[in-house]
Chains A and B, each alone.
Chain A
């Protein structure tokens, strides 16, 4: 079977624009949460979120002009801008900008989103109610469609290989990386640009998740304390936005061109809960099956996992996931590191699995497990080290990243250190 490695990373997160700045702030225990500034949130129950810090590009702020000219920015929803930005970072990091026709045909794109251009859809609907259908922009549809990040990246760089997009709610990013790896393994492509992007922090987005009772609501006065996975006082997730993109490459292809290799995609597992549209079953056996499938695919024993980047959204489901992980690794639980970086970034929905895959890869690179911040009182008994409020240096050769989505869709991806 062809092996797949990661040769480029790109991140736009609520902590910073850029991989190293985001990671540095994660390890430092910083929070990306704050009162919503992108619109007036005063009508909403939850008035805070983890927004990408906008600015001139200095000190980790995000400046869209660095990625897309202003004329093009007007034609696309923000989730596409974030996706294109993270893709540019990853492609530049990998040094993969071929011009040869065959190379271009062997390079594909699989970037998804959970919701897509929600804000554009909402604004266009309101505008149409006021002014009528003739005022709907010709860029409305291509600016809001989920697969248009893949389309835009392909057009920008000339990548003519498989062009695909995943939509599996909060599992999107993990599924995109897993599925893209399979395309490389099966020979459909040698290089895939894969990941997820999201920008759903808008009035209808927050109102919708509030109605599902999924969001934290008690922290309008102290948003940085709101995302607290496994903590006894957790009360729902905090919405995040941004994008995570990786460059995946067939191992021999990467070696032949002397590419920097971050890690290997060792295994990928998927499952469905067949249970409820928004909640996991009490034992989350679906999560356990996805993790077992990923280990089997990787050819490893679950006890070989050193670090788990949890789905851990700061909801009731955190401890259910922990239980599934404990069953998975058995006696090895006492030496396992597990953390939820959503404590810092909030929940990036369709981008979550992708940014967390990148944090798992960086945990392998730097041999350190990132902290779970705001974890003051663990809401259950466990021997697993949840990295409460402190990063934990550790030997990490194998890391597993979990993502679970509405509809009962589960994905686990296993990354391994490469010699």
Chain B
């Protein structure tokens, strides 16, 4: 497991108040982890802050799962 994945998982657990083992590669923030649309906006902001990157709105919309987030951030760094 990459360092990026660990850091992303920590943010997701903190923000959504879910168990760590629920945050799997394919876990959808909205369908599986109980997020609503405002939660996902906040998650993306937290990723930006943590990794010092900017995630444009149209890219943010494609980040639906934990795996999507790790993949995007890996590519952006």
Q: Do residues B38 and A71 form an inter-chain contact, with CB atoms below 8 A?
A: no
At the interface, yes or no: B42 with Cβ under 8 Å from chain A?
Answer: yes
B38 nearest in chain A by CB position = A138
Mask: chain A, 134-146; 1 = CB below 8 Å from B; 0 = not: 1101110010000
Interface contacts (Cβ under 8 Å), in number, total: 19
Residues of A within 8 A of B45 (CB): 134-135, 137-138
- Name B38's contact: one of A70, A134, A135, A139 (CB within 8 Å): A139
Interface residues on A, range: under 10
B41 to chain A, nearest CB (A): 4
At the interface, yes or no: A419 with Cβ under 8 Å from chain B?
Answer: no
Residues of B within 8 A of A70 (CB): 17
Q: Do residues A138 and B41 form an inter-chain contact, with CB atoms below 8 A?
A: yes
State the CA gap A138–B40 with chains docked (Å).
Answer: 9
Mask: chain B, 3-22; 1 = CB below 8 Å from A; 0 = not: 00000000000011100000
Q: Do residues B48 and A134 form an inter-chain contact, with CB atoms below 8 A?
A: yes
Q: Do residues A138 and B42 form an inter-chain contact, with CB atoms below 8 A?
A: yes
Q: Do residues A139 and B42 form an inter-chain contact, with CB atoms below 8 A?
A: yes
State the CA gap A139–B38 with chains docked (Å).
Answer: 7
Q: Which A260-313 residues sit within 8 Å CB-CB of chain B?
A: none
State the CA gap A135–B45 with chains docked (Å).
Answer: 7
Q: Do residues A71 and B41 form an inter-chain contact, with CB atoms below 8 A?
A: no
Q: Do residues A71 and B17 form an inter-chain contact, with CB atoms below 8 A?
A: yes
Q: Which A64-88 residues sit within 8 Å CB-CB of chain B?
A: 69-71
At the interface, yes or no: B58 with Cβ under 8 Å from chain A?
Answer: no
Q: Do residues B42 and A71 form an inter-chain contact, with CB atoms below 8 A?
A: no
Residues of B within 8 A of A71 (CB): 15-17
At the interface, yes or no: B31 with Cβ under 8 Å from chain A?
Answer: no
Residues of B within 8 A of A142 (CB): 38
Q: Which A49-100 residues sit within 8 Å CB-CB of chain B?
A: 69-71
A69 nearest in chain B by CB position = B17
Residues of B within 8 A of A134 (CB): 45, 48, 54
B36 nearest in chain A by CB position = A138
A330 to chain B, nearest CB (A): 57
B16 nearest in chain A by CB position = A71
Q: Which B26-77 residues sit within 8 Å CB-CB of chain A?
A: 38, 41-42, 45, 48-49, 54
Q: Do residues A137 and B42 form an inter-chain contact, with CB atoms below 8 A?
A: yes
B56 to chain A, nearest CB (A): 11
Residues of B within 8 A of A138 (CB): 38, 41-42, 45
B37 nearest in chain A by CB position = A138
State the CA gap A70–B41 with chains docked (Å).
Answer: 19
Residues of A within 8 A of B41 (CB): 138
Q: Which A127-183 residues sit within 8 Å CB-CB of chain B?
A: 134-135, 137-139, 142
State the CA gap A135–B46 with chains docked (Å).
Answer: 9
B18 nearest in chain A by CB position = A71
State the CA gap A138–B43 with chains docked (Å).
Answer: 10
Residues of A within 8 A of B17 (CB): 69-71
A155 to chain B, nearest CB (A): 12
* B residues apposed to A, CB below 8 Å: 15-17, 38, 41-42, 45, 48-49, 54
* A residues apposed to B, CB below 8 Å: 69-71, 134-135, 137-139, 142
Q: List 9 A-B contacts (CB under 8 A).
A: A70-B17, A134-B48, A135-B49, A137-B45, A138-B38, A138-B45, A139-B38, A139-B42, A142-B38
Known: A71-B16, A138-B38. 10 other contacts (CB 8 A): A70-B17, A71-B15, A71-B17, A134-B48, A135-B45, A135-B49, A137-B42, A137-B45, A138-B41, A142-B38
